[in-house]
Structure 1
Amino acid sequence: MTVRELCERARQVMDPVVFDYVAGGADEERVLAGNERAFGRYALLPRVLSGGEDRDTRVDLPGAPGASPVFVAPTAFHRLVHRDGERATARAAAAEGAVLVTGVAATTAVRDVVAAARGAAAEPAVWFQLYPHPRKEVTAALARRAEDAGCTALVVTVDSPVFGRHGRDLRNGFTDLPPGYAAENMRDLPGAAPGALTAIPMSAAPGWPEFAEIVAGTPLPVLVKGVLHPDDARLAVEHGAAGVIVSNHGGRQCDTVPAAVDCLPAVARAVKARVPVLVDGGVRRGGDAAVALALGASAVGVGRPVMWGLAAGGEAGVRQVLAALRDEYAHTLALCGGRRNTDLTPGMVVRRDGTW
């Protein structure tokens, strides 16, 4: 099944309100649609007589050597779509060699997510995503929970000084989790209501000094997520970021920003290969991943497709999504005359009409 077919299967089995929560975006959802549409503007100009049979698509990422070029982007509340929730996602990602970025708004505590991943692979790569909290001691406590659980990196999301406005959720009256569900990582921390959709308090005015404090306060590598402007990418590296994730939050925050992939080339040029650059938003096929890597990404993240796979088939559904995207990417790489990820270069990216 294609990712789009999985989406339709998921729609059939999911509560319509929950489906809207997962599938929806901010305001008029222009950015949500634009993320996918943007990939349609790009094409790859293959090279010939340059390939080989020894293709290797693995990539070294912070705390994740030899990982798949497709990673699981942070998404909230997996148990809303399948009873095994984040545990199933963790086992699937580990089995496929993919980095899992488990969210602070997970319905399974980070220690249990890592334990599930270790049941599928000896050394899984689980990163922990968090938002800068208004109280620095809470941010530090969340980082310690991730460290103690065995996470291999932190991902600080910086594009959310306030929550995005989600029209679908407002129309559906979806403001609280059903009884028995909670943002488990926020248990016993001050200033949180783990049962609310907006259970994660966010600092309204985080700055680069606060980010640098997070970096200095943990032994783990820290990536910054939500970067679109190249100047912010340079600042991230200067303040100790171990990686930059180009993202517009999957179209769930500001509905007036560009597609993430359109911002990728400028960010990659600004970073100048000092740290890995990753991207998420709108990736629906392996060819999208190939375009992103040609434009300067080291890996691509997928969020909604993972949730659709989880809803449609649990752990096996997530594995299907991650394996399909990885294998489609490898196939595209071969057809473009490449053997390694680095064989895809910006000079191979053209417009659909063949010009640039």
Structure 2
Amino acid sequence: MVDFRLGDEYEELRTSVREFAREQIAPVIAEHYENEKFPYEIIRQMGKMGLFGLPFDEKFGGMGGDYFALCIALEELARVDSSVAVTLEAGVSLGAMPIYRYGTDEQKRQWLPRLTSGEALAAFGLTEPGTGSDAAGTTTRAVLDETTGEWVINGTKAFITNSGTDITCLVTVMAVTGTNPDGSKELSTIIVPAGTPGFTVAPQYSKVGWCASDTHELSFDDVRVPAANLLGERGRGLAQFLRILDEGRIAIAALAVGLAQGCVDESVSYAKQRTAFGRPIGDNQAVSFLIADMDLRAHTARLGYYDAASRMLAGEDFKRYAAIAKLNASNAAMENSRYATQVHGGYGFMNESPVGRFYRDAKILEIGEGTSEVQRMLIARGLGL
């Protein structure tokens, strides 16, 4: 028998995060969003709930759960606000997960307890101003100084989430560390602690959406870190991070589903309360059909990320299914935010309206952690094309 219902532990997690989002995030997030302020108190509460430790082993301060538990939490957070949700997503899947997957025992002991508790955040420096989706086009370089036993890093990274908060403790940087026998770039990942001399965090970007999350350009000018800060195997940096991205696409799909479902929630509530021509606007078939289509998109997108996550946890090849989930869910988020704004009319165009924020937040889901075009390319490759 196929059963898509969640087990008791997952349901308990969903309920607790849903209540937290509605009671603690919803009343205050608009002010943070409008003033582009990072919500430190909310993040601190999420840390106490164990959300940053969901998929990590208890010996590193984690909750001993799995990646699907993280996805459930992300969906529920994003039903209310995506800035908070992406802070968790990036903090776990891009910040802590590379260290958990590829770090030495010493690196794990040094960094993971603070990251899994939410006491600190980590970031991953991949994207550069001139590369975008072309990760192999990385130009940031790291040269090993044999005399001092240090990596010397030079370059610039762009659009890096969680990289400049007061609690950011490190950025893992993708850099060219040599040349492979076939002439291609040797790419490796290196841990750079916050505050390292020569490591500069530019002012916060002014963004269309995710306005309460933290995003910066980073520059590295002769930044020196110990050789032991190499993360994983030298020359395997890109391969390691592509695996991280595959997992992250499932998480972003869950976040997108949350936004899509949030649009349904807000639209149903508004359609019941708002009256026009003497009756609730939800009585009009034109409005009710819009909302029905929104619910269909959210539901089918949810099944997509459930499927991708189940394949990942079963140890199966999940790359194509993660791309399908991410592409479908980001499309659903974009469409639902547009229709939710239409249902709300002029009120939906106001920044104080949740759907106004949803509309602004949705677009980045078609870009971040692999554009929609990249997802289609991955799906086609998975089909042997």
TM exceeding 0.5? no
- Point out the structure with max Rg over C-alpha: 2
More helix by share: 2
Q: Which has the bigger relative contact order, CA under 8 A and spacing at least 6?
A: 1
- TM-score normalised to structure 1 length: 0.28
- TM-score normalised to structure 2 length: 0.27
